[in-house]
Amino acid sequence: MGKRMKIAVCVKQVPDTWAEKRLRPADSLLDRESAEGVLNELDEYAVEEALKIQEAHGGEVTIVSMGPERAVETIRKALSMGADAGIHIVDDALSGSDALATSAVLAGVLKDRGFDLIIFGSESTDARMSVVPAMVSERLGLPQLTFAQKVDVNGGTITIERQTDYGFDSVEASSPVVVSVVEKINEPRYPSFKGIMAAKKKPLETLSIVDVGVAAGSVGTSAAWSVVADFAARPPKAAGTIVSDEGTGGVKIAEFLATNKII
Amino acid sequence: MAPILVVVEHADGVVKKVTLELLTLARSLGEPAAVWLGPGYGDTGASQLAEYGVATAYVVDNSDMVDFVVAPKTEALAAVVKQASPAAILIASSAEGKEIAGRLAIKIESGVITDAVAIAPDLTATQSVFGGSTIVHSTVTHGIPIITVRPNSTAPQAAATALSRVDVEVPVSEGARGAKVTGRTAATKASRPELSEAAIVVSGGRGVGGPEGFGVIESLADSLGAAVGASRAATDAGWYPHQYQVGQTGKTVSPQLYVANGISGAIQHRAGMQTSKMIVAVNKDSEAPIFELADFGVVGDLFAVVPQLTDEVQKRKG
Ligand SMILES: Cc1cc2nc3c(=O)[nH]c(=O)nc-3n(C[C@H](O)[C@H](O)[C@H](O)COP(=O)(O)OP(=O)(O)OC[C@H]3O[C@@H](n4cnc5c(N)ncnc54)[C@H](O)[C@@H]3O)c2cc1C
Ligand SMILES: Nc1ncnc2c1ncn2[C@@H]1O[C@H](COP(=O)(O)O)[C@@H](O)[C@H]1O
C-alpha cells in the first residue's frame, strides 16, 4: 500500500429541483435567492462514490464548492454524509461567472493539493452544461474519466465504464484523474443524525479568488465570454385536449395525429 | 469568407443525421466546412457531406481520436481551427460534443454556448432553458463562437456542391493520451432510429409494468417509424436498457412527436422531453403531471389504448 488516497468532490449548490427557476431582469443571471438552495442531485452521487472508494481503500474526502455564502450549507450536507473536510471559494467577484471561469477557479484550488481522484457530478441541474469536469481536466492536464456508471480503483490504476450512446466504453487511466459520475452508479446515503452533528465540527477552509490564484478581472459577469442578450418566458402553450378513454382512445389519438399530418 | 466549421458525428463511415442538420444550419450562417475526426472517412461520408454543401472536409484520420477519451479530438480540432480560421464552430449537443466544446473553448480562448436550438445570421444563439419555460438569446463575446446545437433543431436540406478533402496531420500529445479506451460494449442494437435523432419517440414508464409490457410500446414505435424511450423508473427496474432513458440524466430529445405512455411526468423526465414539438400522453391517472404538457392526452389504460392506436396507424398507412 502506498500513501493515503486523497479524493476531492466538486459540488454545486443549485435551486431546488422543483422550484420554478427564473432569470433576474436586471442582469439576466439566475435568481438564486428566490428558491431554496440544494446540493445538486448528481453531485450526491459523486459524494457517495467518493465515500464508497474511501471505505474500500482508505484515504480522505474533501468537498470543494464555489458559490455564494450560503453554498456552505451544501458543503455541510456533503460533510454530514461522511466527507472529512470542505473548501469553499466565495467571492463577490465570482457572481455571473461562466463555465470557463468556474473551471479556472476549481482548477486553481485543486491543482497543488495532491488529489488522486477528483470527482464531479455529470451535470448541474441549473446550468445543465455538462462541461465543467471536461474543462477542469483540460486545465489540469489530467486524464478525463467522465460519465462513469462504474468506477474501479486498483492501486494507481482507475478504470471506469463510460456511458455512451450505444452502451458503454471501458476506459483506463493512471491517477491523478478527473472523474464524473452518472446517477446510475450508486444510491446516495442519507446523512445520519450523528453525521449531521459531526459535520459541524469538520474543518472548513474559506478561500477568496486571490487565494486560488485567479485574477479578479478574469471571472464574474464582466469577464464572461458569452452573455445573455435577452430572455423571455416561453409563450404559454395552449392547453391540450385531454379525453377519457371510452373504448376509442387509440382511435382518437390517431385522428389527432392525422389532423396534424403526423400520419 | 471565413467558413462555419461543423464537427462531423459519424458511425461506420456514415454521417449522422444531426450533422446534416448542422450543415443545413451552417449554410444559413455562411459557408460550411466539415471536420472529420478519426478513421472512417470514405466515399459514403464524402458524398453525404458534398450533398449537404460542404466544399472543404478537413480529415484527421488518426485512431488516437477514438482510442482515447475526448482530449485528442480537442487537440485535433484546435489544429483545424487554426488552419481554417472559421467564423464559428458548430458541434452536436451530445454528451461528448459538449465535452469537446468545453475543452476547445479553453484551448482557443473562446466563449462557448451549449444546447442551442437555433442560431441567427449574426451568430446569436437561442436556448430553451429551465425545462423549456424560458427562451434565452445568447452571444459569444470573446474569440470564435463555439456553439453546440441540439438534434432536431433544423430540418436537413441538401444543397450539393463539389467537395475537396484536406488531410490534417496532428501529432497527439502524450498528455492527451491519458484516458485509454480498452473496450466497447454495445447494448442490443435495434433497427430503430437513434433516440436523440428520431422524429418520433414512443416512451414507456413504470405504467408499462414490466419488460414484456414494452412489447406494446415497441409495436407502436415500429408502426410510426419511431425510436423507443423509457423513464428512469423503467430503466432502473431493468425493463428496458439504460441508454434509452429520456430525461435529465438520460437523453434529451426534441422530436416532432413524443408519446409518453404510463409516465407520470416527473421534473427529471420532463427535462429531457419538454421541448418536443408535439406531446401525446396516455396515463390512467387524470392528475398525472404529464397531462400539463400534453397537446393531446388520453386518460386510460395504456394496454387498451396503445394497441388500438397501433392498429389504427397501420390501417391508415394502408
Ligand atoms: C438525480 C436524478 C436523476 C433522474 N433522472 C431521470 C431521467 O433522466 N429520466 C427519468 O425519466 N427520470 C429521472 N429521474 C426519476 C424521476 O424523478 C421519476 O422517478 C421517474 O421519471 C418516474 O418514472 P415514471 O413516470 O415511469 O414512473 P411513475 O412516476 O411511477 O409513473 C408511472 C405512471 O404510470 C401510470 N400508469 C400505471 N399503470 C398504467 C396503465 N396500465 N396505463 C396507463 N398508465 C398507467 C401511473 O398513473 C403513473 O402516472 C431522476 C431522479 C433523480 C433523483
Ligand atoms: N460552482 C461549482 N462549484 C463546484 N463544483 C461545480 C460548480 N459548478 C459545477 N461544478 C461541478 O461540475 C459538474 C457539472 O456541472 P455543469 O458543467 O455546470 O453541468 C457539477 O455536477 C459539479 O460537480
DSSP output for A36-60: -EEE-HHHHHHHHHHHHHHHHH--E
* Alpha-carbon span A103 to A88, nearest angstrom: 14
**Residue ranges making up the domain that contains A43:** 5-223
Say whether both B218 and B92 belong to one domain: no
Which pLDDT score, from 0 to 100, does residue B37 have?
98
State the ipTM, two decimals.
0.89
Residues B216 and B78 both lie in one domain: no
Question: Over the stretch B273-296, which tens digit does the pLDDT of each residue have?
Answer: 998 999 999 999 999 999 999 999
Q: Looking at the domain assignment, is residue B264 inside a domain?
A: yes
pLDDT given for residue A36 in this prediction? 85
Count of structural domains, chain A: 1
B83 in the same domain as B6? yes
Would you say residue B92 lies in a domain? yes
Most B CBs within 10 Å: which of A120, A160, A257, as the mutation test of the B interface? Answer: A257
User: Does residue A96 lie within any of the structural domains?
Assistant: yes
Count of domains forming chain B: 2
Give the pLDDT confidence score for residue A2 in this predicted structure. 53
pLDDT of amino acid A1 = 45
Distance B231 CA to ligand 1 centre (A): 5
* Tens digit of pLDDT at every position of chain B (318 positions): 799 999 999 999 999 999 999 999 999 999 999 999 999 999 999 999 999 999 999 999 999 999 999 999 999 999 999 999 999 999 999 999 999 999 999 999 999 999 999 999 999 999 988 877 789 999 999 999 999 999 999 999 999 999 999 999 999 999 999 999 999 998 765 689 989 889 999 999 999 999 999 999 999 999 999 999 999 999 999 999 988 999 988 898 999 999 999 999 999 999 899 989 999 999 999 999 999 999 999 999 999 999 999 999 999 987
Ligand closest to the CA atom of residue A118 = 2
The CATH number that applies at residue A189 is: 3.40.50.620
Out of A9, A11, A12, mutate this one to test ligand 2's pocket (max ligand atoms within 8 Å of CB): namely: A12
Single-letter amino acid code for the residue at A56: A
At residue B144, the 3 state secondary structure works out as coil
Tell whether B10 and B141 lie within a shared domain.
yes
C-alpha A95/C-alpha B146 separation (Å) is 23
The set of protein residues with a Cβ atom below 6 angstroms from ligand 1 is A 41-42, 183; B 205-207, 231-234, 245-250, 262-264, 266, 268-269, 272, 282-285, 288, 301-303
Q: Is A131 in the pocket of ligand 2 (CB under 6 A)?
A: yes
Q: What is the pLDDT of residue A126?
A: 84
- Same domain assignment for residues B109 and B208: no
Instruction: Report helix, strand or coil for B12.
Output: coil
Between the CA of B136 and the centroid of ligand 1 the distance, in Å, is: 28
Q: Domain of B302? A: 198-315
Q: Which residues of chain A have pLDDT under 50?
A: 1
pLDDT on residue B189:
57
Query: Among the residues of B42-154, which ranges form H helices?
Result: 43-51, 64-67, 71-84, 95-107
Give me the residue label for grid cell 472512417. B40
B225 and B301 assigned to the same domain: yes
- Is residue B17 a part of any domain in this protein? yes
Nearest-Cα distance to chain B for A203, in Å, is 32
Q: What confidence score (pLDDT) does residue A104 get?
A: 97
**Residue B252 near residue B221, CB atoms below 8 Å:** no
